Structure 1
Amino acid sequence: MKLEVNGLTVSFSIPGATVRAVTDASFSVRQGECLALVGESGCGKSVLAHALLGLLPGNARVSGQAMLSPELSPELDLLSASPAVLASRVRGREIGLIPQSPATHLTPVRTARAQLEEALEELGSTSSATELAERFGLAPRDLDRYPHELSGGMAQRVANAIALAGDPGLLIADEPTSGLDRPLVERTMAVLRELCEEGRAVLVITHDLRAAAQVADHLAVMYASRLVEVGPAAELLDRPRHPYAAGLLAAQPDREFVAIQGMPPELTALPEGCAFAPRCAHATGACAARPPMSAGVSCHHPLREAAHAQGA
């Protein structure tokens, strides 16, 4: 399984304005690997995920290419595929989705077991609800509870089980740790890592860099609809090149714990140049022009090059 995204752009037409939610995003996710897409809330991460599955509202305009290459099925461009193809072939079967705030996505008047069994039946799986639930640490009695009787961690595990009901080759986890305490965050990330080790491709969308570090092989940092840095997780976490990526890391409790000053721009009023420039201590006049993505970073003044020049 492989997903290759090139130039993905999403905008929404609203009265009097256009929301530019995703701008020219390019990345890949391969079998046995995890890519974590990180950034502040509202930067476009979840919109990107929903675009891949055709789950955007009618006022969305989508362009670019997202080629899905399963092992046993023909290659497919997710962005040009019809709703019927996405519903019958892709969702749940080739791509599983763990939604943000899973408790709110579960039907409140049906037990967890009924919803998991329905997913298994619809997707033609031979697994039992109990077997799949136990894999994610749920006891059989937990499945007989209604969503309001589940803790946040239990609801997360039910969502994980439903996402795996069709044995998809690619899993998209949209903020899978939102609202969970740290032990449950670590458990959730460990499960996603296990799925990678089994040969699945995993795309994790999160604002939690600590969680991303636990599971990701590669990181993609998003700011104001645009990817600003993409690279191997260990390298990016150790020596980020984009000032925004460095700021995200510095804001972590286990590092400097210093917040990035200022606010991101509105997605209805994105600048033509570098969107991070008003918050960046390294900005110059060159930043009035949008920097191209070069060697994995979109910045006129990458930090490693700046450090090297000063040392010289």
Structure 2
Amino acid sequence: MAILEVENFSVSFKQYKAGLKQIHNQVISSLDLTLEAGKILAIVGASGSGKSLLAHAILGILPGNARTSGTIKYQGEILTPARQKALRGKEIALVPQSVNYLDPLMQVGKQVRTSVKISEDAVGVQRKVFERYQLKQETESMYPFQLSGGMARRVLLSTAMVSGANVIIADEPTPGLDPVVMKEALQNIREFADIGSAVMFITHDIDSALRIADHIAVFYAGTTVEIAPVENFTNKGEELRHPYTKALWRALPQNDFIPIAGTMPHPSELPTGCLFAPRCPLATPECNEEKPQMRDVRDGMVRCIHAN
């Protein structure tokens, strides 16, 4: 069942150049994806491809110079700024990339309790979830600076868990973790889906995504180029649909370790047609005419006129 739907969504930022000339840089364009209850959709792509920006757009925390178009629907209704404010931290929760999201002046137990539903015993719920994440009771009286990195991440996970949110957005929650802690963190994220939440797992690490996700959405230059079941990421990538996804897969060290020629375009210099065309070995003159639409191909979705 679809919980959150992003349809033809775009984000641009107003900037001023010399002489106070106003320009709009399109950072996300024509983006489409759907989050389903009990499922994890992993968002992968290079830095600057728009992954975290999408999370901020869903939460309604974009900076003031941002302009958006298209729609975001939550449970079938448009997610207006007023609804975003009302739902943020309650029905739509964020597991952020940085532990700096914790208030340095508040004990972590109190911080977690603020996300507990009003009708519940906040202290009891907080202590139960701390026990679940192997955080001792004395941890609740600590301040963020007193926590190890692993403890701080578990506090952030606790905050999302006690909210009972229908949508969990985990934004790069595993960078810099050793293998044991990373395995634990990924298991914790999988738990959100197993209890019925729709999860968006943002990462640059395809290997991590494959361990817990149901589908993977591949971002390039601010748009989705492919959404595929995790089972398609195998062997030489024969089951994948988009040339960029295949190249990304083959660039991994455990595969062919073949680098992708060229660089991703800057938002101010996007090509008129397919955004990947300047780097694509399959590009034809048609690819430069207009941006391809997302379409269904072999139980997945792809933005490429050559995919079959």
Where on the TM-score scale, by shorter chain, does this alignment land: which range? 0.7 to 0.9
Q: 1:87 matched to which residue of 2?
A: 85
In structure 2, the residue matched to 1:263 is: 263
Which residue of 151, 154, 158 corresponds with 2:155?
A: 158
| Shift in alpha-carbon separation, 1:19–1:181, aligned structure 2, 3 A | farther
Question: Is residue 2:111 matched to residue 1:115?
Answer: yes
Call closer, same or farther: CA 1:300–1:86 in 2, change over 3 Å: closer
Tell me how far 1:61 sits from its aligned partner.
0.9
Does the aligned pair in 1 maintain the 2:52–2:202 contact within 8 Å? yes
What residue number does 2:26 align with? Answer: 20
C-alpha RMSD of matched pairs (Å) = 1.9
Structure 1 distance, partners of 2:120, 2:209, is 30
| CA pair 13-212 structure 1, distance change in 2 beyond 3 A | same
The aligned length equals 292
Cα deviations across residues 112-165 of structure 1 (Å, max 9, x unaligned)? 2232123337x5543432211222232223333322232222221111111222
TM-score by length of 2: 0.88
Q: Secondary structure at the match of 1:164?
A: helix
Contact 2:167-2:198 within 8 A present in 1 as well? yes
**Residues 92 and 164 of structure 1 are in contact (CA less than 8 Å); yes or no, is this contact kept in structure 2?**
no
Structure 1 residues 108, 279: closer, same or farther in 2, change over 3 A? same
Letter in 2 for 1:129: Q
Task: Indicate the SS of the match to 2:304.
Answer: coil
Aligned to 1:169: 166
**Matched letter for residue 288 of structure 1:** N
Cα distance in structure 2, aligned partners of 1:109 and 1:172: 25
Secondary structure, in 3 states, of the residue corresponding to 1:115? helix
Between the two proteins, what is the percent identity of the paired residues?
A: 39
From the superposition, tell whether residues 19 and 137 of structure 1 become closer, same or farther in structure 2 (CA, over 3 Å): farther
Q: 1:125 to 1:257 in 2, by over 3 A?
A: farther
Partner of 2:253: 253
- Normalized against structure 1, the TM-score is what? 0.87
Q: CA deviation at 1:56?
A: 0.7
Give, in whole Å, the separation in 2 of the partners of 1:3 and 1:39.
21
Match of 2:227 in 1: 230
**Gaps (5+ residues) in structure 2?**
18-22
Confirm or deny: 8 A CA contact 2:90 2:115 kept in the other structure.
no
For 2:132 and 2:25, the matched residues in 1 are separated by 41
| Cα distance in structure 2, aligned partners of 1:82 and 1:275 | 30
Q: Which residue of 1 aligns with 2:217?
A: 220
